[in-house]
Structure 1
Amino acid sequence: MLFTETKYLDYKFPVPQYLGAKYIHRGWIAQYIPDNAETVLDAFSGSQSVAYMFKQMGKRVITNDFLNFNNMIGKALIENPGHTLEKEDIDILFSGNTNPVEFNLMEKLFSGLFFVSEEAAFADGFRSNVSRLNNPYKQALALAVMCRSMTRKVTMGHFAHTQALVYAADPARIKRNRSLIRPLKELFMELLPEYNAAVFDNFQKNVSYNENILDLLPKLTDVDLVYFDPPYCNSHADYQSFYHLLETFVEYWKDKEFVNGTKRYEPKKYSGFDKNSEALGNLQLMFERAAHIPVWLVSYNDRSFPDIDTMIQMIEPYRKVKVERKVYHAGRGGKGSVAGSHEILFVCTTK
């Protein structure tokens, strides 16, 4: 199916600011999706841009990510059949902190680190009101838009550095990116129309999961195609270190220790794909547990571990595999996508 052949193309996915997002590769990936694939799984959904493309194609979409802030995007834009945030919802979200004793985590952890005190307190107040919205899709949409607002306020759009407020006081950086000094509330209101407009119903029973894919795969039946975009070891594979603040905001941890200069939560959630010592065995296990799914598309990069030949050797016991390549002419940031490297797509079909 060509990406342009869909009545849902008028809906636009909000441009992500996410390391390794496949947003720019959607059209390239789409050409390898067979017409008869009706139910598709996006196993490592991240920003949800590929899952959203599947939804635009009219597919029944199962999307999954082990980080809950990514799952919230999936709930808001993939599973959600049509609920948007209206004025009365915004009034609730912006109505002040309803429980400052319980909702003070952002100010306690990140004030003076990523946000000035007033902004961190505003984020706590917003979070205290999310549960007051009248359905889970509105709640997910509120969290998704606020998380995106937070990345807009931080140089590089991630939280694995301690220079956010230093950069926000630098006139040269502010000139290039005024979002560094704009209030979260203002950024939220600017982004919200784009997110509301991205909500649509493709009349399929789409669902978003928040599980480790190794646990989820055995539970799924009648899936025609799976898209795997695992973390690329050696290329910014530890997403929890880059986006810990967003996960902390969504989960609102009460049972974590917060460590190092960036106040990352500990213990981290188990990935199984972000360390060289674990990735090889878990990739093998993943392919084994996906054996019942006829077609696999596997995104990868030629600078990652394990290497391309090893990946092929792991796939070949289960599927015929063809390797497609797309060169990076300029660096994109994250996942080894530097100039001269290749984005890889393993197209895996039944023998």
Structure 2
Amino acid sequence: MREINLPVTRYYGSKRKLVGRIWSEIENLDLAFDSVLDLFGGTAIFSYYAKVMGKKVIYNDIFSFNTAIGRKLIQQTSNDLSYEEALALLQPNPDYLYKKIIQENFRNIYFTDAENEQIDIFIQNANELKDENKRLSAYYILFQSCIIKRPYNLFHRNNLNMRLNYNGGNFGNKKTWERSFEELFERFLKELDEFTFDNGRDNLAVNFNALDCQETADLIYIDPPYFSSSRNHTTYHAKYHFLEGLANYDKIIDHINHAKNNKEITINKSDHFEKSATFLADLERIVRRYNDSIIVISYRNNGIPSVQSINDLLVLCRPDRRVHTLDLGLYGYALNKGNQFNSEFLIIGTNNII
């Protein structure tokens, strides 16, 4: 398996540790494909790997903040934002009347008062950048910094107190949580300088619900939300709603759920692939749409619906194709390292296996 240096992702369920093995299993089947559609793109790890491997890549994600990351890493080929320019975005322009949406609505929820003020100023300054390359770089470093400063790297709880009052134990990284935006921006700009590149292909990043995406490719990679059989399901929207709000800053005020303690921002909240009862029906719509493409579905063994149910669905939709179900072995997610029964499966349907 080829060693490829990948961006560090902090996204729940990221396949960063597995993407090399996933790619190797696809290659082992001698599949012929030149283009890839990553339908649930997330942190863009699979898309990025495919880009490194010289494929034409189409990244898709329902969330605006993820799509901004996808456009930066997949569609664009360089980082033009300097560290000095990034620091300048933290400074208020005396001729601009700034909104205080984060300061006034999210006090004591996710970040400190001083950090909330910095976020308000930075995102509004970034939105004024005319250069798309620099604007997307600014979004990237802000989103990554906000994630890394959060306990669990998530936003579904108003647990700033956990960060501020943490005094050691089995969980947490107090030193990272308390790093300044200035320090983190330098770190993530270095990542962009390292990981943005041109693979010679006309790559694309789009922003659609997976059911509405009309893009196509030789290989469709599907890494859908996962429903655990052992606990209540927390949607990806709930986990990252704050970042989706920042990506749609001017709409936040009209979409705050004040009934929730964490004041969830409801922008782009969707039931598609977020309800186990309708999951298989949604998946069937996608599989039938891409009848001429290789289908690769990544899923876990202890989810609802089961791996067998997804396998049976692919057989039903593709009766003239061969379906391979591959167990990639045990895998401990960052928030569930003690669960030794987790296993990742690939379910692949194709008509050109040699």
| TM exceeding 0.5 | yes
SS of the residue corresponding to residue 305 of structure 2 reads: coil
Distance 2:289 2:172 in 1: 50
Counterpart residue number, 1:270 = 270
Counterpart residue number, 2:163 = 167
Could you tell which deviates more after superposition, 260-269 or 123-132?
Answer: 260-269
The answer for unaligned runs of 5 or more in structure 2 is none
CA contact (8 A) 2:44 2:69 kept: yes
CA contact (8 A) 2:241 2:265 kept: yes
- CA apart distance, 1:14: 2.1
CA contact (8 A) 2:81 2:134 kept: yes
Opposite residue 162 of structure 2, the aligned amino acid is: V
Which of 194, 197, 201 matches 1:200?
A: 197
Which of 188, 210, 225 matches 1:231?
A: 225
Counterpart residue number, 2:15 = 22
Counterpart residue number, 1:347 = 348
Distance 1:209 1:134 in 2: 20
Q: Percent identity?
A: 26
Whether 1:85 and 2:78 are equivalent positions in the alignment is no
CA contact (8 A) 1:68 1:210 kept: yes
Counterpart residue number, 1:300 = 299
Counterpart residue number, 1:326 = 328
Counterpart residue number, 2:284 = 284
CA contact (8 A) 1:71 1:208 kept: yes
Counterpart residue number, 1:244 = 241
- CA apart distance, 1:340: 1.2
CA contact (8 A) 1:92 1:132 kept: no
Distance 2:330 2:181 in 1: 34
SS of the residue corresponding to residue 67 of structure 2 reads: helix
Could you tell which deviates more after superposition, 246-255 or 197-206?
Answer: 246-255
Opposite residue 184 of structure 1, the aligned amino acid is: F
Distance 1:226 1:237 in 2: 26
Could you tell which deviates more after superposition, 164-173 or 236-245?
Answer: 164-173
- CA apart distance, 1:191: 2.1
SS of the residue corresponding to residue 286 of structure 1 reads: helix
Opposite residue 67 of structure 1, the aligned amino acid is: F
Deviation track 1:29-68 (CA, whole Å, cap 9, x = no partner) reads 1111456311111110111111100000011100001011
Opposite residue 279 of structure 1, the aligned amino acid is: F
The answer for unaligned runs of 5 or more in structure 1 is none
Normalised TM-score (structure 2): 0.88
SS of the residue corresponding to residue 270 of structure 1 reads: coil
CA contact (8 A) 1:26 1:53 kept: yes
Whether 1:150 and 2:146 are equivalent positions in the alignment is yes
- CA apart distance, 1:276: 1.2
Counterpart residue number, 2:112 = 116
Could you tell which deviates more after superposition, 86-95 or 317-326?
Answer: 86-95
CA contact (8 A) 1:85 1:196 kept: no
Could you tell which deviates more after superposition, 29-38 or 318-327?
Answer: 29-38
CA pair 135-13 structure 1, distance change in 2 beyond 3 A: farther
CA pair 96-43 structure 1, distance change in 2 beyond 3 A: same
SS of the residue corresponding to residue 202 of structure 2 reads: coil
Opposite residue 302 of structure 2, the aligned amino acid is: R
Distance 2:158 2:65 in 1: 21
Distance 2:65 2:345 in 1: 26
Normalised TM-score (structure 1): 0.89
Distance 1:201 1:35 in 2: 24
- CA apart distance, 1:204: 0.5
Deviation track 1:246-302 (CA, whole Å, cap 9, x = no partner) reads 111111124313230111123652241011122121011111112132x11110011
The root-mean-square deviation of aligned C-alpha atoms, in Å, is 2.4
CA contact (8 A) 1:327 1:340 kept: no
Distance 2:94 2:272 in 1: 38
Distance 2:345 2:283 in 1: 16
CA contact (8 A) 2:332 2:342 kept: no
